[in-house]
Structure 1
Amino acid sequence: MNLLTDGIEMKAVIANNTDKKLVIDNISQNYPVYKIRLDHLYYNDQNDRIATWISQYKFDNKISHLNISDKEDYNATIHKFITDSNPQALKNTQTNINLVGQQETGVILSDGRIIDGNRRFTCLRNIEKETGKTQYFEAVILDHSIENNAKQIKMLELMLQHGVDEKIGYNPIDKLVGVYNDIIETKLLSVEEYAASVNQSPADIKSEIEKAKLLVDFLEFINAPKQFYLARTMNITESLKDLHTMLKRVKNIDKKEDLKNIVFAELLMQPVGDMNRYIRRIGKIVDNNKFFDNFIEEQTAIVEKVCDELEKHTKVTEQEISKIRSNEQIKKDFKHSSEIFFNRVDSDTTRSQPIKQMEKACDSLELIDTNIFKKLSIDQKDDIQEKLDKIEEIIFNMRRELDV
């Protein structure tokens, strides 16, 4: 069915006498807004916001794509994804729609696929079910198909999804999965096209690509290739960011790979409760040339034990992760080893702190232009002399402590 012809004829689509400005193919244009009956609409399963939920559903049901032929069942499935992905955001939006109606116009395709407005559509579905009253979704209808206009539609979706109102509740892992799918996996968009769509620089998107690749590498390391939902449930977003930053500071390729595997193994085993802080502390070891090599050597031996454990689980699921984490000895080994190096680095930092402070003091003193002294007043010279006496006193006391 084409909503712009059949839908209008059936009165399932009603002109709203307003319009909305959209930029498609760099052309800004006003498009008419319509009211569309909900039973003629369906969710967009290619929406990046629910990427990890879709991946989990496909894995659990051993399918490569969702069946759209039964739209009622299809909509019910994705309705649950939207609800579970951010219940509080959905509740807030629904409360607002109940009070003042739908304020933000959505965007759909002529066959009813929702490109922008999945959360609002979900709220209206809830309201219709609760009140028994027919609801209408206000949206622009584009006479496009997902098959023939995939790039246009994705760029428009990204532009709208990353707008101010839609930033709420966008899971970072889902965003990384979207970047990976759109730029690496399907090659639908170039870095420049993606950057333009989300109003970020190409450099920022390249950084996101690197993090997305780390996410893919992590899932491959734990024998769960492309099971992106696991990364969401394991809450590893911040740790991946910290690892990405650490890796940029390591120049040796072998050490870089060893560090990556160490962090991956630690994230899998979860030896402590607050893994984000734990991984961040590893960054201090990376920056300490005195201990970094020994840390790599000691932890790599434990990583090998993790790899041996993973060989027993050829296809890892949430249940399998729980089983792997039940190996308390490996967790103790990781924690014990890391704590030793954390303490060494902290002690080394404390001991080197006076030297760094003295270097700063020397730098500050050297910046003083002594030629200006002759131009100072007597009071200003007395003030400087007083400060020099204080400095001499401090230096005398320091030398005395060094001689003890």
Structure 2
Amino acid sequence: MNLLKDGVALGLVVRTELSRKLTVDGITQAYPVYKIRLDHLYYNDQNDRIATWISQYKSQHDGQSPNTSKGDMYNDIIEDFIVKSNPAAIVATQNNIELVDQREPGVVLVDGRIIDGNRRYTCLRRLSNKNDRFKYFEAVILERNIESSAKQIKMLELSIQHGEESKIDYNPIDRLVGIFNDIIDTKLLSVSEYAKSTSEQESDVRKRMEITGLMIEFLDFINAPKQFHIARDLQIGFPLEELAKLLKKCKSEDEIEDLKICVFTNILMKTSNDLGRFVRKIKDIVTSDYMGEFIEEQKEIAYRVVENLPPKGSVNEKLIREVIRANDEVGQALEQSMEKSLTKAKKTETRNRPIQLIEKATTLLEDIDMIILHKFNDSELQRVKRQLSKLEKVIDEIRANLDE
């Protein structure tokens, strides 16, 4: 059904006196707002947040996605996902709409696909079950379809969801899934187009692409390729962000791959309640002489974990939490390896601290511009001489301790 033609003619769509400003194809203008019957709208399966949940549905239904043509059945499936993603937000929004009606118009395509307003639409569907007053959704209707205007529609959606002042606080994994789908997998958008839509720097988008790549590698590592809901459920966004920084300190590609295996295994086994902080601690080991020893120990344990992983298609959140992570022996072995290497690295750092300070002091003194010294007045010269005398005493004391 074309909402602006058939919908209006049948009385299912009614124009209101409201309008909403949107920037479409680089042009900002006010678009009229319509009241649209709820049963002639449907959720956008290409929305970043919804795409994460659809990955879970596919894993439970032999790789099949929910069918958008099945009307209420399709909407019921997605509604359940949206409610579960943030129940508190749904309750707050639903209570507000019930009290003062829908205040912020959404955005839909002419075929009924919702581009902005999934949460509001969800709340109205729930409220309409007990009161017909809520059976309409107020929204701008764009005369576009996903087949011919996919790029423009996606850029508009990103602009609304991430680029405006009232942007939704997306789960980090949802954003990574969006980057994977839009830039890496389908190549629907370029980095510059994505950055423009979300009002970000291109460098920030590229950093998130690195983290997205790590998410894909992690899911492959645990035999759960593209099961994004697992990444979201395990809350691996921040640990992967820290890992991306850590990998830049590696000296070779082999070291990078080895370190990924170590960190992926610890994330899977959840050897710390704060995995982001745990990954940051590894930095002290990476920059020490004990990196090789740490890597070998961790890899040996990692291989034991990988060998016992179920085949692809069998890994899910419950199995990870109740079976894989229940192996206390492996978890303790990983923790002990980490603590041992970290203790050695810290001892070495403490022992080398005097050398590091002397090297730093020498570098600072060597950077003094001698020409400037000739321009000092008497007071400034006396101050320099006093500090040099103190410095000589400190050096003499250090030498005396070295001769003991």
* SS of 2:69 mapped into structure 1: coil
Partner amino acid, structure 1, of 2:292: D
CA distance in 1, matches of 2:141, 2:311: 52
Deviations 1:339-367 (A, max 9, x none): 11111111122222233333333333334
What is residue 190 of structure 1 aligned with on the other side?
190
Aligned partner of 2:295 in structure 1 is 296
| Alignment CA distance shift 1:398-1:102 (3 Å) | farther
* Structure 1 residue aligned with 2:306: 307
1:313/1:320 contact within 8 Å kept? no
- Report if aligned partners of 1:158, 1:198 keep a CA contact under 8 Å in 2: yes
Corresponding residue number in structure 1 for 2:216: 216
Q: Distance in 1 between matches of 2:310 and 2:139?
A: 51
CA distance, structure 1, for counterparts of residue 36 and residue 312 of structure 2: 49
Alignment deviations for residues 87-127 of structure 1 (CA, whole Å, 9 cap, x no partner)? 33334444554555434331101121101111122233344
Q: Which residue of 2 aligns with 1:31?
A: 31
Match of 1:353 in 2: 353
**1:135-165 CA deviation, whole Å, 9 max, x = no partner?**
4322110122222322221121111111345
C-alpha root-mean-square deviation of aligned residues, in Å?
A: 2.5
- In the TM superposition, 1:309-388 aligns within 5 A as 309-310=308-309, 315-321=314-320, 322-373=322-373, 375-388=375-388
1:391 maps to amino acid: L
Offset of 1:373 from its aligned partner? 4.5
3-state SS of the aligned residue for 2:141? strand
State the Cα distance separating 1:75 from its structure 2 match: 1.9
Partner Cα distance (1:312, 1:109) in 2: 41
When normalised by structure 1's length, the TM-score is 0.90
Q: 1:310 corresponds to which letter in structure 2?
A: L
1:270-293 Cα shifts (integer Å, max 9, x gaps): 2333322222212222222x1212
Q: What does residue range 277-296 of structure 1 map to in structure 2 within 5 Å? A: 277-288=277-288, 290-296=289-295
List runs of 5+ in structure 1 lacking aligned partners. none
For the 8 Å contact 2:127–2:134, the answer to whether it is kept is no
Residues 227-238 of structure 1: pairs in structure 2 closer than 5 A: 227-238=227-238
- The DSSP-based 3-state class of the residue aligned with 1:249 is coil
Distance 1:95 1:226 in 2: 36
Which amino acid letter does the alignment assign opposite residue 253 of structure 1?
Answer: E
Closer/same/farther in 2, CA of residues 166 and 119 from structure 1, 3 Å limit: farther
- Residue 24 of structure 1 contacts residue 156 of structure 1 at CA under 8 Å; is this kept in 2? yes
Give the Cα–Cα distance (whole angstroms) in 2 for the partners of residues 190 and 368 of structure 1.
48
1:140 is paired with a residue whose SS is strand
How has the CA–CA distance of structure 1 residues 60 and 314 changed in structure 2, closer, same or farther, with 3 Å as cutoff? closer
Matching of residue 62 in structure 1 with residue 71 in structure 2: no
User: How far 1:4 sits from its partner (Å)?
Assistant: 0.6
Aligned residue for 1:62, secondary structure, equals: coil
Partner of residue 175, structure 1: 175
Q: Pick closer, same or farther for the CA change 1:95–1:381 going to 2, 3 Å.
A: farther
Q: Work out the CA distance in 2 between the residues paired with 1:36 and 1:212.
A: 37
Query: How many pairs align?
Result: 403
Residues 83 and 401 of structure 1, relative CA distance in 2, 3 Å threshold? farther
Q: Confirm or deny that 1:275 pairs with 2:275.
A: yes
Contact 2:110/2:142, CA 8 A, preserved across alignment: yes
2:72 matched to which residue of 1? 72
1:43–1:118 CA contact under 8 A, matched in 2:
yes
- C-alpha distance in 1, partners of 2:158/2:375? 63
Q: Which runs of 5+ in 2 are unaligned?
A: none
- Judged with a 3 Å threshold, the aligned counterparts in structure 2 of structure 1 residues 100 and 364 are, in CA distance, closer, same or farther, namely farther
Output the amino acid matched with 1:15.
R
User: Secondary structure of 1:315's partner?
Assistant: coil
Secondary structure of 1:159's counterpart equals helix
One-letter amino acid of the structure 2 residue matched with residue 14 of structure 1: V
- Identical-pair percentage: 48
Q: Which moved further from structure 2: 118-127 or 363-372?
A: 363-372
After superposition, the Cα gap between the structure-2 partners of 1:398 and 1:159, relative to the gap in structure 1 and judged at 3 Å, is same
